[in-house]
Structure 1
Amino acid sequence: MNMNAVRFHYPPDTHFLEVCDSLGLFVLNEVAGWQNGYDTKTGTNLIKETVQRDVNHPSVIIWDHGNEGGWNYEIDHVFHDYDPQKRIVIHPWSDFNGWDTHHYPTYLTGMHRFNNGENVFFPTEFMHGTYDNGIGAGLEDFWKRYKQSPLFAGGFIWAMLDEAVLRSDWTGEQKYDSKGNLAADGVLGPHREKEGSFFTVKEVWSPIQFEPKLITSTFDGSFLITNEYIYTNLEDCKLEYRVLKANESILYTDKKAEIIASKPISIASIEPGETRKVHFDVPENFFEGDWLEITAHDKHGRDIYTWSWYHTSCTIFSKQVYY
């Protein structure tokens, strides 16, 4: 889903860190402490053992000291005592040491606190699945405004999957239940199946972003594209366009639209952070189609996302209701 970082509420299994090392994922490695900090003796030992175990994993970029009040200021120094790189130490949910990781701000509160603040900000929990029932709802609004600030450094969605259990004691019928909104409704379903939110997150977090475009009768095959990768030049990625035509109604059927034209799109150098124009030669039968799709793959051949645009010259069906 185009994510590149993960946070736990506890130090993860070393195998998971090895996988993150191999994939290039960023890890926030967290010493547990759930809204109540450890005493100095216990906390010192836990931090020491965590850092000594995980210090050589390149995926670990930040040490988290507890969660939502679960920190002890007296032992923050222990992370750096055993980490020669002296990586960032944060207190998730707070302003600490120049980092603002405030959790679950409302839209206007978040925009004021983060975008008008003086600290680098990355909410270590936001878009709470318990309350928006799907996470995808509203994500684009938050993300677009956050990105306007040069202090924005990302964010972490809670949680990854629906924390539902199969039970029959609640309603008498055996079904998955998260007891209303008292447990997380995550990006994935309880079996890690891809739900609507998955595809929303994948689009909003895509490292390739298209500027808004209308496909009209004067369309010349050009788009403005922004590279939101951290390291990768878009010349290492692949784009392909397809023009599709629905010869008859395909809604609610297993029929597929006909591809009447397709071709790779050449990408010149687009460095991270740059916005540049890409162009393809519009085929002669372009306006015989009903919509355009562009699919992007990364340098490893993995799917990034597929965007679609309909032709404004096509017939748009609508329904009006009169009262």
Structure 2
Amino acid sequence: MSTPQDPLRNAHDLTAREVPGASGAPAAVPSRPGESGDAQGPCSPGRPSLPYYEDRAPGRGTLPPRAWYAASDARRLGLGGEWRFRLSPTAGAEDDSFARPGHDASGWDRLSVPGHWVLQGHGAPAYTNTRYPFPVDPPRVPYENPTGDHLRHFGLPEDWPLGAGSGDTVLRFDGVESCARVWLNGTELGVFQGSRLPHEFAVGALLRPGGNVLAVRVHQWSAGSYLEDQDQWWLPGIFRDVTLLHRPPGAVDDFTVHASYDHRAGTGTLRVDCRTGGSGAGGGDGPISGPDGGAVPARITVPGLGLDLAAGESATVPVEPWTAETPRLYEAELAAPGERIALRVGFRTVAVEDGVLKVNGRRILFRGVNRHEFHPETGRAVDADTMRRDLLLMKRHNINAVRTSHYPPHPAFLDLCDELGLWVVDECDLETHGFADTGWRNNPVRDERWFPALLDRAARMVERDKNHPSVIIWSLGNECDTGPGLTAMAGWIRARDPGRPLHYEGDPSCADTDVYSRMYAPHAEVELIGRRAEEPLSDPELDARRRELPFVLCEYAHAMGNGPGGLTEYQRLFERYERCQGGFVWEWTDHGIARRAADGTPYFAYGGDFGEEVHDGNFVCDGLLFPDRTPSPGLAEYKKAVEPVRIEGDGEAGTVRVTNTHDFSGLSHLAFTWSYEADGAPVADGGLPVPPLAPGESAEVKLPEPPRFPAGGGGSGAGAGRDRDRPGAGELQWTVRAVLAADTAWAPKGHLVAWAQLPAG
């Protein structure tokens, strides 16, 4: 088993490892995806078998997972754009001759990739909340299994390195729903499942300097669909990037950034573990040799800190820590003999101490949302501008945390969270909610035959996202009930990354988690939990352990229709009880699909609008935003409820009480103003001097003397021209605001952060 001292053992190096089976007996886990699954090809010869898309195993032929990074000097070629496409009604309607070079696809349709074929005129979307849209008979799927054949002809740049001594090239898929079989130039590369997870193949030996043909067969339904019942549209296709990545000799195969922060000393400790080789992702054995035969390790340099370290070395220096409020990132470079990678390093430490979740030694409070990836026109093929727009809207509405319901997002989204400052609960691509209708019978997390797929999904999430400071919690998945498969996942993640706590809401015993999580608990129950006086578990040992865990609402305040409600009451409980550390509103945005009526009127479609027999109606439209990202009134209400500065007072007495509810920041980044208003019209305004306040501190501030309205002059509105003390002077009030004192990365100077209106008499 991988250990913290051996951090780069591959996620799939699982030979001879054992995990507990459903009966407590050990269950062997394969060393590579697909090695001991139910099928090796379309049908395994010599015995009754399932086709590969009904195989429980996660796949075959793929490389081990590794860290994702955006910037490197190694060559890359994006393969997005216009592909040739053919849709078949069943998985077996066509043979695989289309993958051979020279196949005539001139009569095929054209399809944009990344994209979903059901949003480009081929078939139709379907929405279900918890029900599977097909009979539950795992791992089998319906005979009517829409299957999309994709072809991409591409040439390589003339200077693309090929041949002996040039290293290798990796073909990367960042997201395909739900099962893909891949060929390059007529040679089959392999098969994979796990829709929101990356998969790579080594293809250098197959590439040609002239034309190349990439063929991908995508099945809408597969065994993996049983693990992806996630309250969203079922949208098949290649919906994330497809990329060729050159791996020069001596390139970085994988790396792990360890950047911790000691809040007592104000120092950060940096170590980067790195494996080089360039023979494909995860293929190197260590440093390559230099001219003198000695090892040439990779090096990490951080100019802003004066650091220049060999991989594996550590150094401790004074640093500014990374938090969601102060997302300090240090520009760095990881240089191996064959590749240079640009990095941004954030120093922070996450721990559960004394029953409280802390970052850098301080309790944090989640003012969060659940975010599915969705765009009303392109589905889960979400572009970078939409990701940034989402995060800017969150920051401008005082949201500081995202739960990536219910799968890892596009990796670029996490780069933006690092940059702009949001806490992230990164959730595994796993939900088996539809088995609830069968009493959880045949639930995959209780069946050891599914364990390789479960572990594969956990490993691909962790290895891809391990270097993001914004990711502070790993989540095992959502609504899978309980089972030893989840225990196996938790054990693997803890061994691989002991620096982040684990979350999973579906097990009330919290046996496999470090956080007590609930959905939609009412105020009274949250108060009991805050007092550690909740209903006891039947197992005294588990009960005692759970009472020592921090508490979060991973979903609350359902934002459908005129929701959410009760927000202020929840927030006061979170502030009153140290154990209660906030929550994540369900959910960020409506999933309405943009359509036009016969007369041209635009509208947003929901479940049933595409003729589905099995659907869950408008329950897919329950967000704080409308599908086009127009904020709902509920988002304005949430912004007010979770303000990081609380402004209260007595307008008649002329006093204001300001409380800093940030977790880390003072108030120097804010400017406070007052406005005196008559019937809503400003009469006078000015700046309000508020003393420096550390997080949790309060101060009373005196308002200026209110202006008077002598007869015949002053002011405007109904109160103008009358003495403020005279009956009928109109409604008088103070409005006190906290605004940004300077431009930030997420909002301009003057942006409203918090406010209050106080009756003046």
Cα distance in 2 for residues equivalent to 1:2 and 1:77: 35
Map of 1:128 onto structure 2: 558
Query: Which letter maps to 1:105?
Result: A
Map of 1:201 onto structure 2: 638
Whether the aligned pair in 1 keeps the contact of 2:501 and 2:514 (CA below 8 Å) is no
Give the stretch that moved more between structures: 196-205 or 267-276.
267-276
* Residues 146 and 178 of structure 1: CA distance in aligned 2, closer, same or farther (over 3 Å): farther
Cα distance in 2 for residues equivalent to 1:13 and 1:58: 16
* Residues 54 and 27 of structure 1: CA distance in aligned 2, closer, same or farther (over 3 Å): same
Q: CA deviation at 1:106?
A: 3.1
Specify every segment of 5 or more residues in structure 1 that has no aligned partner in the other structure, as ranges.
Answer: 247-256, 313-323
Cα distance in 2 for residues equivalent to 1:178 and 1:204: 30
Deviations 1:152-196 (A, max 9, x none): 111001111223345689xxx974455665334211122111221
Specify every segment of 5 or more residues in structure 2 that has no aligned partner in the other structure, as ranges.
Answer: 1-396, 433-442, 535-546, 608-616, 710-723
Whether the aligned pair in 2 keeps the contact of 1:134 and 1:185 (CA below 8 Å) is no
Whether the aligned pair in 1 keeps the contact of 2:644 and 2:754 (CA below 8 Å) is no
Match of 2:519 among 87, 91, 103: 103
* Residues 141 and 236 of structure 1: CA distance in aligned 2, closer, same or farther (over 3 Å): same
Match of 1:215 among 628, 651, 663: 651
Higher Cα radius of gyration: 2
**Secondary structure of 1:122's aligned partner:** strand
Match of 2:670 among 216, 232, 237: 237
Map of 2:425 onto structure 1: 28
Matched ranges for 1:31-180 at <5 A:
31-35=428-432, 39-69=450-480, 72-83=486-497, 86-95=499-508, 96=510, 97-115=513-531, 116-117=533-534, 118=547, 119-130=549-560, 133-166=561-594, 175-176=603-604, 178=606
Whether the aligned pair in 1 keeps the contact of 2:736 and 2:755 (CA below 8 Å) is yes
Query: Which letter maps to 2:519?
Result: H
* Residues 37 and 112 of structure 1: CA distance in aligned 2, closer, same or farther (over 3 Å): farther
Map of 2:47 onto structure 1: none
**Secondary structure of 1:140's aligned partner:** helix
Cα distance in 2 for residues equivalent to 1:277 and 1:23: 32
Whether the aligned pair in 2 keeps the contact of 1:161 and 1:188 (CA below 8 Å) is yes
Cα distance in 1 for residues equivalent to 2:738 and 2:444: 45
Q: CA deviation at 1:235?
A: 3.2
Higher share in strand: 2
Map of 1:6 onto structure 2: 402
Whether the aligned pair in 1 keeps the contact of 2:558 and 2:564 (CA below 8 Å) is no
Cα distance in 1 for residues equivalent to 2:685 and 2:516: 46
Map of 1:273 onto structure 2: 696
Q: CA deviation at 1:304?
A: 0.5
Cα distance in 2 for residues equivalent to 1:12 and 1:37: 23
Query: Which letter maps to 2:478?
Result: N
Q: CA deviation at 1:232?
A: 0.7
Give the stretch that moved more between structures: 303-312 or 186-195.
303-312
Deviations 1:79-99 (A, max 9, x none): 23332x520011134442442
Deviations 1:37-72 (A, max 9, x none): 562211222222221211111100000001122661
Query: Which letter maps to 2:528?
Result: H
Query: Which letter maps to 1:66?
Result: G
* Residues 22 and 168 of structure 1: CA distance in aligned 2, closer, same or farther (over 3 Å): closer
Whether the aligned pair in 2 keeps the contact of 1:48 and 1:79 (CA below 8 Å) is yes
User: Does residue 306 of the first structure (1) align with residue 755 of the second (2)?
Assistant: yes
Deviations 1:173-223 (A, max 9, x none): 974455665334211122111221111101110000123x3422xx23x21
Whether the aligned pair in 1 keeps the contact of 2:400 and 2:422 (CA below 8 Å) is yes
Query: Which letter maps to 2:522?
Result: T
* Residues 237 and 93 of structure 1: CA distance in aligned 2, closer, same or farther (over 3 Å): farther
Query: Which letter maps to 2:431?
Result: W
Higher share in helix: 1
Whether the aligned pair in 1 keeps the contact of 2:473 and 2:500 (CA below 8 Å) is yes
Cα distance in 2 for residues equivalent to 1:267 and 1:106: 36
Q: CA deviation at 1:142?
A: 2.4
Cα distance in 2 for residues equivalent to 1:237 and 1:174: 41
**Secondary structure of 1:206's aligned partner:** coil
Deviations 1:80-132 (A, max 9, x none): 3332x5200111344424421111123333433454342311011111234xx
Whether the aligned pair in 2 keeps the contact of 1:94 and 1:102 (CA below 8 Å) is no
**Secondary structure of 2:430's aligned partner:** strand
Cα distance in 1 for residues equivalent to 2:573 and 2:479: 25
Whether the aligned pair in 2 keeps the contact of 1:159 and 1:184 (CA below 8 Å) is no
- TM-score, normalising length from structure 2? 0.36
- TM-score, normalising length from structure 1? 0.81
Q: Percent identity, aligned pairs only? A: 23
Query: Which letter maps to 1:136?
Result: P
Whether the aligned pair in 1 keeps the contact of 2:656 and 2:703 (CA below 8 Å) is no
